[in-house]
Amino acid sequence: MYIVVVGAGKVGYHLTKSLLAEGQEVLVIEKERLKVDRITRELGATAIQGDGAEVATLELAGLERADVVAAVTGHDEDNLIVAQVAKGKFDVPRTVARVNNPRNEFIFAELGIDATVSATQVILSVIQQVIPHHPFVHLLTLREGGIEFVELQLTEDCPAAGKHAGEVDLPADTAIPLLIRQGSPLVVQADTLLQPGDRLVAVTTSAQEDILRQHVLGTAG
């Protein structure tokens, strides 16, 4: 397998090292001379200096015979364009791009990149798995007036579970206009029965937030 890695930062360096250890043929393209020198010194003559989105550099790297191109710089825009040029100009069978902004995973897929890897997303999901559920989540803060939009997830032992919405003792300046039940939004009326599993979307103020939390979830902040 011939693998071209673009970007010799920490990810590029360790990726190259691991691939070489597996016996793969690897070439690294890196803009900065110092990083190229480090690869050459520590891993052997396996790096060239240049802009990985420039066609001349990619020709020099023999991209037409590459099996995989991995664009792993710290810049999403560079990784996207490198992978698109590899695919569009050189017909590389598999392009992999690192994304830093998790929102870009979807965009890269739309724009034809075969695989994306987001360290941010990976770390986020690991953390979310450790925390079983988030009973209280800040959705949005409006600076003016200190207004908060929060989400409260009901479980069986919450004081509000099993009550009608009108029976819940809400603090001042607070309302629960909406809830999400099994993935669908539902406008809350005074006679709406609140059930375990419901996610309530509440509008409150920073001053009342803790009281709301106590009255609905039964837990302090």
Partner 1 sequence: MDLVILGCGRVGSRVANIADRRHHVTVIDWHGNAFERLHPDFSGDTVLGNGIDVDILRSAGAADARLFLAVTENDDSNLMAAQVARRLGAKRVVARIYDPVRAEVFEGMGVTTVSPTINGAQALFKRVTDPEGA
Closer residue to partner 1 in complex, CB, 78/198: 78
Closer residue to partner 1 in complex, CB, 57/174: 57
- Residues in contact with 49: Cβ distance below 8 Å, sequence separation at least 6, in sequence order: 29, 30, 31, 32, 33, 36
Least separation in angstroms between residue 69's CB and partner 1 is: 14
HEC-encoded secondary structure of 73-100: CCCHHHHHHHHHHHHHHHCCCEEEEEEC
What is the token pair recorded at 181? Answer: 């039940």
Closer residue to partner 1 in complex, CB, 118/174: 118
Q: Residue 156, by phi and psi: left (phi above 0), alpha (psi -120 to 50) or beta?
A: alpha
Residue 32 sits in the site that holds partner 1 (CB under 8 A): no
Closer residue to partner 1 in complex, CB, 84/116: 84
What is the token pair recorded at 214? Answer: 């106590």
Element (H, E) at 5: strand 2-6
Q: Looking only at residues 47 through 106 of this chain, which bind partner 1 when binding is defined by CB under 8 A?
A: 53-56, 75-78, 80-81, 84-85, 88-89, 101, 103-104
What order do you get walking across the sheet with 2-6 strand by strand? 47-49, 25-30, 2-6, 68-71, 94-99, 115-118
Least separation in angstroms between residue 21's CB and partner 1 is: 31
Q: Looking at 20, 107, 115, 178, which residue binds partner 1 (CB under 8 A)?
A: 107
Residue 118 sits in the site that holds partner 1 (CB under 8 A): no
Least separation in angstroms between residue 175's CB and partner 1 is: 26
Residues that bind partner 1 (rule: CB under 8 A) add up to a total of 20
What is the token pair recorded at 50? Answer: 């240049």
Least separation in angstroms between residue 203's CB and partner 1 is: 22
Among 66, 72, 100, CA closest to 86: 66
Provide the residue type at 219 as one letter: T
Least separation in angstroms between residue 7's CB and partner 1 is: 12
Q: Which residues bind partner 1 (CB under 8 A)?
A: 53-56, 75-78, 80-81, 84-85, 88-89, 101, 103-104, 107, 110-111
